[in-house]
Structure 1
Amino acid sequence: MVRRWTLTLCLILLAAVTESIVIEVVGPQAVVVGDDADLRVTYASSAKPHVMWALGDLFASWDIGDNSSLQISETFQQRLEVNTSTASIVILGTRLADSGTYTISLSALGERPSSHNISLTVYELITNVKVTVPTADIKEGDPTLTLTCTMTTGTWDALAWFKDGERISSNSHRLLVKNELILRNVVRGDAGTYSCDVQNPFNNGTAQESLQVYYGPDVPVVTINSSSDPSPERYVLVNSTVTLRCRSESEPPARYLWSVGESEDTSVPDHSVLTLTHVQLDQAGTYSCIASNAKLSRIVRKTTSVTVYELPEGEPRCAMVSIDSGAKLRFSCKWPGGFPFAQIQWLGLSRNLTAPSHLVQDEGSPEGLHQTNVTCLCQHPAATKICLLQPEAPLVVPSWLVLKGTQGKAMVTLKCQVTSDPAASIRWFRDRAQLASSGNVGFSANNSELHVRDFSIRNDTRELQLLLQEPAGREQAHNGTHRPPPPRAVSATTQWDSSLSVLECPPLRCGHFLPHPITCWDTALRQPLQFLEHPAGGSDVPTLHHHHQAPG
């Protein structure tokens, strides 16, 4: 019966608890170690509740308005200020160990109990931040490297790492763990200035340290420069100033040595720049740059070749001459000297021949080369030059001059103006017989003029023949081809008995039969000067025939 009434009373009491106690707190709280922490609480309750504070374990409790009910644990004795008319507390002279989550609980008859958490963080001011790097030498390729951020005192909420002013994020190469920065598989790019920045709500601190990573030397890069050569990596010319520069990535900076060829001799210039002033042919060869890093005890070598050329002398010289009695032309082209020798080649001839420095080439059937460009191509590794020749069949312009002498005697000059190169070989014939200097017959230095002294119409008027032996040609300028002016009528003067006569003659070309007689007419003396076609079976020589007719 008693149990039944007890159960009934409990049910009645529970039915009467219809509301919970309302609790409000100010938090979270942050204080500097040694300062007081005011954990203020307000509540709403229809009765005077029972108060309990816990930091994991219960450390204080009391009934609102009853000082005698206050109980404080030994941990907070003399460090806790309590106004029993409220639910708030003040922790005096906070310690770092006071940081944590505090729980306040209120309970009262007829109300549901309530509880609330308040976070308290006790900070120590940050002082003397320092970044620590390993004291041992750090080398490229080391598996790991750890940098540590420390401070003499301080509690931090945030810690950030920076490299050369840029914030570091955690990745596969850089790992952030608490106050450490771990670098995996160290590379030369890891060198730089690292800083650590720590903060809490009351102050912050920063520190930095330089990190040096040793590496190299890498295989050197050698460059060649010349004072006058456009492509010194291919060749340089004699007497130019050549500069070889060697560069190798290394920390500490590499030391450089130069050697010639593959020799191990290192007693050579110890600078990254090697200068060859007025380089000569015997300085061509293989140059090696040796880069060393004493810190890492490493040595590497890079070899390069210096090619020295010398241009041949001056400009190419080309010429042609007639050989084998005019049956052939001999072409000659020279560009002597130099290293290596220039390769000479004639373009436009029947054979494709090549020779060093000097090429002589004979060409048959020269008549087929008339007014054709023949080019001498001179090729040297440092330059290419040409020389042009243009074979030209001769242009023959005959004229004659009679000078009256005393006692009815006179001297007759027959002149053959021949435009040709090489010079034509000129011979004079009378009645098919070659004339020679004797008696009253004489010649100019090149046989272009025939002088007949004491000229007698009766004795000296014969059939004259002019023989030219010459395949032909004329040297031209490099930058173009000069062509002779077009054929035109020519005039010559004859003096006879103090009267002036004019001869008008068309030009002739040697080596061809005349299609019909060509006459030069002296209008004053009424005398023809005829050039006749050879009779059948005759030699290939133009015939000069002079008719005399007394003035009328």
Structure 2
Amino acid sequence: MASLDQSGRLTAVFLFVSLSVSFQGAHCQLVVAPVGPTLVNARAGSNVTLAVLFGGAPDPVVTWSKGALPVLTWTIGSSAAADVAEGFKDVLEIGTDGSLTFVNVLLDHAGNYTMELTKSGLSQADTAFTLKVFENFQNVELTVQPDLLKEGIDPFLLQYSVLRGEVEQQRWLFNGTEIKTSSHYTVKDRSLEILNPNRNDTGRYTVVLTNPLSRVEAHQDITVLYGPDEPRLEARPAKPFYIPGDSLSLVCQAGGSPLPTAVWVFGDLTFPDSQDGVLNRTNVQISQGGVYTCKLTNQQTKEQRQKSMTLNVYEKPSGDPICSVQSVNVTAALLYHCQWPGGTPLAQLSFPELSSNSSGAGNFSLTVTALANLDFKTVTCMAAHPVEQNKCNITASRPVEFLPAVRMSVDSLGKIVVSLQCVSDASPQAVVSWSKGSEAVANGATHEISSDTTQLQIRGYNVSDFVQQKYSCTSRNPLGSQRREIQLQGPSISAFSLFPNPEGTVVTLTWEVPPTSVVTGFDIQVKGPSLPGEKRNGTESRGASDGYRTIQQKPGSARSTDVLALDPNLSYRFRVIPRARTTEGQPSEVRRLGPDEGLSGPAIAGIAAGIPCSLLFLVLMGGFIYLCVNCNKDKSRPARYPVSRAVEKVITTQSEMTPHHLLAGGLKSPPDYNKLQQAPSERSVALPTFVPPPPVRVATIV
């Protein structure tokens, strides 16, 4: 740039010569023109020339000025030295053609220069140049303000500084892309302003400084701090719920610069900081289920954010669901109830067959009208729990047919107590109402109804207070009812049996009473020889030694007894007398045990008188038969042969082997305990084992 290139100089000379010829032909006056561009750029310390060409007159006076200040004057072609202003003496040199040269040009020499040509008698000619002097760029720095750059707050400013070098042009780049002034960027002199900074403004910023003679770049890496962002919480492995004993990890993650630190909080517990936000839970228990909160902190900006999640730890209720049905009103409604308490969370219970939109948690009841289609209908309670699905069934039913139970006792006051009990299988449990004849029975001195209404106690001193009284019980629930009548009667025995042991020394007596008979005790009586150890004073009831006497007294609940120390060679007669306190009932049948006692005196006399008559009758009858036989003389009659002694012996032996007939007076088969339609639980005692007595020879004494 200190001298014109060859082509530019030739062009300038050609133009100047053309102008000179033209002016000389028309007028005689001075002309001057620059050789090359009038804007001259020079590097500081180099030599640069402001070249010109002139014409029109020889030896004109040349004056170079910087602005309005003349810096050099000289007459072209003169041998005298040029007149140079102070400060430019060692810098400026003048050429023979009037061109001005700067030696070791300095920054101070830059400016606008004008060349004037003058000659007496001619008009003045001039031309102008602009000289720019540039230094090489040195120590270019790029700085940012403020020091802490946060997303979404005040803008930040990038500025550059240059120790040496004049900047004619600046360009700003972000990650290699040029920045233009916009709503987000403002390019200013020597700076760049970023408005509303965000995380996307993090990156490398570059400023490019240029002038005609040099170029330089400066870089600055910018980090815009942000976060923590909205946390992302999850459990690994991901499940809708966990059961006791499971292991899992709670993960808390969020974007941020720098990466935020995480703290987990559960109730009053705070867990240590975790850079990666992971909280491990092993062998998790029900108590560890609940709300967990993750708190995130940006350690540089001190910004915080938190988020919570619920850890579901479920445990099914213990056991199985339980169903029941109750009466809301004896005749109107049923209350179906289902419960499966415990567990986490509570199980959801419902009766879908009864209602499609009603349910409850842990304990659920549903009231419905008692309709006929619910009788013996099985209804299912569906129990839904996240861990297990379960169910239970309940069947409502009307009371079924039943048999009343009658029991008797004597209270501490000596009153006879008759307990009537009416229990019918029903669901819900039936309520029993009592009546005597056509009147309802209520609690009082004579009657007492139990709290569950199934039992009625009647109290009185005399059996006449009970006999011929007709009581009724009605068992009822919302689905129906059953009614039974009870007719009480006096003390009586319905069946009496005797069972001796094989030796004949012990006998077991058993008896039964009618179901509605009022009996409070039994007298066991015997007729016959005295028993060993028997006392005739206290235990003997009535009569002489040949009459019946009481040897035992049994309570009303007894149905058997044993009589010991009997003599198998003697005969005994037994009977049982039922009692209702002091009132005796009809004795039972008499049962005999032992050998036959022989014939009585009148029987012997009768036999003695009848023998002669019998013999006479037999003689007459034999004669009559003989006459008839002889008259007929049936020739076809087979001959009679004598019976062999072997056959006779066989017949005799068989006759001797025939056992004697057992006495049947006191022996009977064991009683049929079910003829009263009693269940096994209603029998008084276990059936005794029947042991047949040994054979007894019966002898008749005449």
- Which bin holds the TM-score, normalised by the shorter protein? 0.5 to 0.7
* Partner Cα distance (1:367, 1:144) in 2: 80
Equivalent position amino acid for 2:296 in 1: A
Q: Which has the higher strand share?
A: 1
Match of 1:366 among 366, 373, 377: 373
Contact 2:315/2:387 (<8 A) preserved = no
Contact 1:258/1:289 (<8 A) preserved = yes
Aligned-pair CA distance for 1:54: 1.6
1:115 equivalent to 2:126? Answer yes
Equivalent position amino acid for 1:307 in 2: N
* Partner Cα distance (2:380, 2:126) in 1: 112
3-state SS in 2 of match to 1:35 = coil
- Name 2:211's counterpart in structure 1: 200
Instruction: Provide Cα deviations, 1:412-468, integer angstroms capped at 9, x if missing partner.
Output: xxxxxxxxxxxxxxxxxxxxxxxxxxxxxxxxxxxxxxxxxxxxxxxxxxxxxxxxx
Contact 2:314/2:387 (<8 A) preserved = no
Match of 1:24 among 34, 55, 68: 34
Instruction: Provide Cα deviations, 1:492-535, integer angstroms capped at 9, x if missing partner.
Output: xxxxxxxxxxxxxxxxxxxxxxxxxxxxxxxxxxxxxxxxxxxx
Match of 1:349 among 333, 351, 354: 354
Is the alpha carbon distance of 1:241 and 1:118 closer, same or farther for their aligned partners in structure 2, counting shifts above 3 Å? farther
Equivalent position amino acid for 1:60 in 2: L
Instruction: Provide Cα deviations, 1:21-49, integer angstroms capped at 9, x if missing partner.
Output: 35233122222111111211124435554
Instruction: Provide Cα deviations, 1:75-111, integer angstroms capped at 9, x if missing partner.
Output: 3213222123x13121111111122222223345676
1:127 equivalent to 2:126? Answer no
1:41 equivalent to 2:49? Answer no
Instruction: Provide Cα deviations, 1:138-162, integer angstroms capped at 9, x if missing partner.
Output: 5567756443323443233222233
3-state SS in 1 of match to 2:108 = helix
Alignment of 1:239-388 (within 5 A): 239-261=245-267, 263=268, 266=270, 268=272, 270-271=274-275, 272-296=277-301, 300-310=305-315, 338-349=343-354, 353-356=358-361, 364-366=371-373, 378-380=383-385, 382=386
- Name 1:223's counterpart in structure 2: 233
- Name 2:596's counterpart in structure 1: none
Match of 2:78 among 66, 85, 105: 66
Aligned-pair CA distance for 1:285: 2.1
- Name 1:100's counterpart in structure 2: 111
* Partner Cα distance (2:352, 2:110) in 1: 102
Is the alpha carbon distance of 1:387 and 1:115 closer, same or farther for their aligned partners in structure 2, counting shifts above 3 Å? farther
Is the alpha carbon distance of 1:375 and 1:29 closer, same or farther for their aligned partners in structure 2, counting shifts above 3 Å? farther
Is the alpha carbon distance of 1:254 and 1:357 closer, same or farther for their aligned partners in structure 2, counting shifts above 3 Å? closer
Equivalent position amino acid for 1:276 in 2: R
Bigger shift: 328-337 or 275-284? 328-337
Q: How many corresponding residue pairs?
A: 358
Aligned-pair CA distance for 1:307: 3.4
Is the alpha carbon distance of 1:388 and 1:182 closer, same or farther for their aligned partners in structure 2, counting shifts above 3 Å? same
- Name 1:80's counterpart in structure 2: 92
Is the alpha carbon distance of 1:240 and 1:68 closer, same or farther for their aligned partners in structure 2, counting shifts above 3 Å? same
Is the alpha carbon distance of 1:34 and 1:350 closer, same or farther for their aligned partners in structure 2, counting shifts above 3 Å? closer
Equivalent position amino acid for 1:25 in 2: V
* Partner Cα distance (1:130, 1:347) in 2: 81
1:157 equivalent to 2:163? Answer no
Contact 1:191/1:211 (<8 A) preserved = yes
* Partner Cα distance (2:374, 2:292) in 1: 56
3-state SS in 2 of match to 1:53 = strand
* Partner Cα distance (1:353, 1:172) in 2: 62
Contact 2:42/2:134 (<8 A) preserved = yes
Instruction: Provide Cα deviations, 1:216-245, integer angstroms capped at 9, x if missing partner.
Output: 5x475141224252xx5xx55555544322
* Partner Cα distance (2:232, 2:203) in 1: 28
Aligned-pair CA distance for 1:369: 12
Q: Which has the higher contact order (CA 8 A, sep 6+)?
A: 1
Contact 1:54/1:102 (<8 A) preserved = yes
Is the alpha carbon distance of 1:200 and 1:343 closer, same or farther for their aligned partners in structure 2, counting shifts above 3 Å? same
Bigger shift: 106-115 or 307-316? 307-316
* Partner Cα distance (2:309, 2:63) in 1: 88
* Partner Cα distance (1:93, 1:76) in 2: 11
Instruction: Provide Cα deviations, 1:271-324, integer angstroms capped at 9, x if missing partner.
Output: 41112234332112222223334445565544443333345689999999xxxx
- Name 1:51's counterpart in structure 2: 62
Is the alpha carbon distance of 1:332 and 1:287 closer, same or farther for their aligned partners in structure 2, counting shifts above 3 Å? closer
* Partner Cα distance (1:314, 1:40) in 2: 114
* Partner Cα distance (1:154, 1:145) in 2: 26
1:167 equivalent to 2:172? Answer no
Equivalent position amino acid for 2:286 in 1: L
TM-score normalised according to structure 2 size: 0.42
Is the alpha carbon distance of 1:174 and 1:358 closer, same or farther for their aligned partners in structure 2, counting shifts above 3 Å? closer
Is the alpha carbon distance of 1:295 and 1:38 closer, same or farther for their aligned partners in structure 2, counting shifts above 3 Å? same
Instruction: Provide Cα deviations, 1:193-229, integer angstroms capped at 9, x if missing partner.
Output: 333222233332223233345555x475141224252
3-state SS in 2 of match to 1:193 = strand
* Partner Cα distance (2:335, 2:77) in 1: 139
Contact 1:243/1:275 (<8 A) preserved = yes
Is the alpha carbon distance of 1:174 and 1:369 closer, same or farther for their aligned partners in structure 2, counting shifts above 3 Å? farther
- Name 1:545's counterpart in structure 2: none
Instruction: Provide Cα deviations, 1:237-272, integer angstroms capped at 9, x if missing partner.
Output: 5555443222345444333222212x4x64545341
TM-score normalised according to structure 1 size: 0.52
3-state SS in 2 of match to 1:156 = coil
Is the alpha carbon distance of 1:226 and 1:142 closer, same or farther for their aligned partners in structure 2, counting shifts above 3 Å? closer
Extract unaligned runs of 5+ from structure 2: 1-25, 326-332, 396-478, 480-702
Contact 1:104/1:116 (<8 A) preserved = yes
CA-atom RMSD, angstroms? 4.6
Contact 1:257/1:269 (<8 A) preserved = yes
Extract unaligned runs of 5+ from structure 1: 1-15, 321-327, 392-470, 472-552
* Partner Cα distance (1:112, 1:67) in 2: 24
Alignment of 1:440-479 (within 5 A): none
Contact 1:246/1:273 (<8 A) preserved = yes
* Partner Cα distance (2:229, 2:251) in 1: 14
Aligned-pair CA distance for 1:60: 1.9
Instruction: Provide Cα deviations, 1:141-187, integer angstroms capped at 9, x if missing partner.
Output: 77564433234432332222333333333456644333233456665
- Name 1:465's counterpart in structure 2: none
Structure index of larger Rg: 2
3-state SS in 1 of match to 2:164 = coil
